[in-house]
Structure 1
């Protein structure tokens, strides 16, 4: 993790929140968010900041995420959500979320604004992606996977996506060879092995051509 502002990581946060109707001591220190149940059965969860996708305010009424942190409408919120991922297997990550509630809306505001500022300091995170979805690849589940899994995560993370739904063989490869790619932080594909191979071949060919 790289940061242009090391001092922000020296901040320590410590408060009590309600999680799933139970009291938890929650603190952030040394780039780790930790929540511990205050009464038996005791439990403790540690979450590295690199695994946090986003921190957002939550409506009490319908438990839906709302409001960007900096839109000026955060003063009365009593619940916020930490969106994150956990690694379950070597190459498999699962999305999770935890809702934290406090009667002190100022406490909620402090946590959300501080954690959001820390996430902003993570310079390695992509902001703009070029994405290809093969509607016929991956047992014809590509488009459904994008709509139900990928797009919601991109929206939560605030990542801008330029989406192409491929219509023919080598559609993605041709775009990679012809378009200006400098504005993108990465290329993502949703499909089967053939889609992945096509994109890899396109990127390798483009790199070789650009480097003479």
Structure 2
């Protein structure tokens, strides 16, 4: 697109403005302080409006005419958090201001082909902090209006309302679906879209070896839940406005999905955690104490650490074919990650590449097999980071490389397991312990020992004191699948590469914002 230049004023000061490609630059003619200059990428411009436009305190848009045009854009404020910034330009004539407005809007459209025009929004008024409706109405709706994004809002009234809607209703004309809620709400949208895509394509979901079709619609997450793990791991912060801005500018982040199966029957899809043992036991116990609110998870966690349960079984897994990456290679999946892209290039790897196998590991028909007693078996397609654990279960996990990280924690003392858990919060290597093993895999099977064989030894013996507190033992656990309990022990898991897409770009590296502007002279 052609370059255009003219003189414009900002806060009464004249400067040279130029629009070349996706770059819009205004340079203060006084040349006293270069930090007064404005450099914007039209890819991150939210809206350009004719006149003097502002969003008032009640989130309404106010417009005054004149030789002005207003540019709203993304501003990085700290770490991964974004906000909306505004700069007012004054042209010499009304016609020139109109021309700049039209030209910038054309460039936004040209370079923003992935921006959504119409969204289907689901609000969960009961999930997490019960603030979903208030967050959307007070912080998000006005941003979508400002950006010219039309919305259809559905307030969910029951469990699986959003999933069933996506499976059955007409979705033509929408560019994406948005969940205002927590990880549970996201799971509903994910299951609905994946199920609808397979249904329309005539692909059986119960066949783990089938070539699944990716949904065409992207999912956006406006965080309003208790943990919002998926939002945190893909955006880097749980902030509703930041997430809304990623949606508005049309960011796209593919995401791997684990399919969980049992006896040739699909049980669930997962992106953040498929966990047996500790995390499933915590979830099961916390459900009995919902009246406690979010603190119930801490309460149940303490109980499970004290109980020190372990479960016997056989873990079978297929290692990832790409030996260039490892769960312990000290890299991080970030925005523009080459490992997750379709590029033939790979990131330079530092540190140890080979996963260390326990001596008891066997290989049968391409499957590694480990039999033992485990405190926890965890599989994750992402870091599973959250505010309480900024690095997550597996800090080096990738979002879209077709693999998941398998973490096996062998039977150990309460003290040693607590050491492992504490390293999720203090940035120490949680895998650098003799009873912990981690692998990058593409498939998993778990087979528990039967009840008769394990009844007397599948759970560590407990002192009477802890036994009274934790109400005894059990011989088999269940699976925690993204916060939902699956009441089975024997399962198969397969990683489906880049099965869904989010309105996100991955976590950006900490760096100064490419936008350098000031409107307060």
Which bracket does the TM-score occupy, shorter chain normalised? 0.7 to 0.9
Change (3 A) 1:24 1:135: farther
Q: Find out whether 1:54 has 2:26 as its counterpart.
A: no
What is the rounded CA distance, in whole Å, between the counterparts of 1:54 and 1:111 in structure 2? 13
Q: Find out whether 1:179 has 2:169 as its counterpart.
A: yes
* Residue aligning to 2:15: 24
Change (3 A) 1:20 1:137: farther
Q: CA deviation at 1:57?
A: 1.3
Q: Find out whether 1:42 has 2:31 as its counterpart.
A: no
What is the rounded CA distance, in whole Å, between the counterparts of 1:17 and 1:41 in structure 2? 17
Instruction: Kindly indicate whether the alpha-carbon contact (under 8 Å) linking 1:77 and 1:109 is maintained by their aligned counterparts in 2.
Output: no
Q: CA deviation at 1:26?
A: 1.8
Write out per-residue CA displacement over residues 8-55 of structure 1, whole angstroms, 9 at most, x where no aligned residue: x12x22223222343332211122111222222222332111111221
What is the rounded CA distance, in whole Å, between the counterparts of 2:91 and 2:63 in structure 1? 17
* Residue aligning to 2:83: 94
What is the rounded CA distance, in whole Å, between the counterparts of 1:22 and 1:137 in structure 2? 49
* Residue aligning to 1:6: none
Instruction: Kindly indicate whether the alpha-carbon contact (under 8 Å) linking 2:52 and 2:88 is maintained by their aligned counterparts in 1.
Output: no
Instruction: Kindly indicate whether the alpha-carbon contact (under 8 Å) linking 2:122 and 2:178 is maintained by their aligned counterparts in 1.
Output: yes
* Residue aligning to 2:71: 82
* Residue aligning to 2:155: 165
Change (3 A) 1:89 1:209: farther
Aligned partner of 1:156 among 146, 159, 184:
146
Map residues 74-153 of structure 1 onto 2, 5 A cutoff: 77-87=66-76, 92-121=81-110, 122-153=112-143
Instruction: Kindly indicate whether the alpha-carbon contact (under 8 Å) linking 2:52 and 2:70 is maintained by their aligned counterparts in 1.
Output: no
**Mind listing any 5+ residue stretches in structure 1 that lack a counterpart?**
1-8, 68-75
Write out per-residue CA displacement over residues 168-205 of structure 1, whole angstroms, 9 at most, x where no aligned residue: 21111111111011221111111112111111121122
* Residue aligning to 1:72: none
Using structure 1 for the length normalisation, give the TM-score.
0.80
What is the rounded CA distance, in whole Å, between the counterparts of 1:21 and 1:190 in structure 2? 41
What is the rounded CA distance, in whole Å, between the counterparts of 2:19 and 2:183 in structure 1? 41
What is the rounded CA distance, in whole Å, between the counterparts of 1:209 and 1:89 in structure 2? 43
What is the rounded CA distance, in whole Å, between the counterparts of 2:117 and 2:177 in structure 1? 12
Instruction: Kindly indicate whether the alpha-carbon contact (under 8 Å) linking 2:119 and 2:152 is maintained by their aligned counterparts in 1.
Output: yes
Name the structure where helix makes up a greater proportion of residues.
1
Map residues 4-23 of structure 1 onto 2, 5 A cutoff: 9-10=1-2, 12-23=3-14
How many residues in Structure 1 have an aligned counterpart in Structure 2? Answer: 194
What is the rounded CA distance, in whole Å, between the counterparts of 2:175 and 2:79 in structure 1? 24
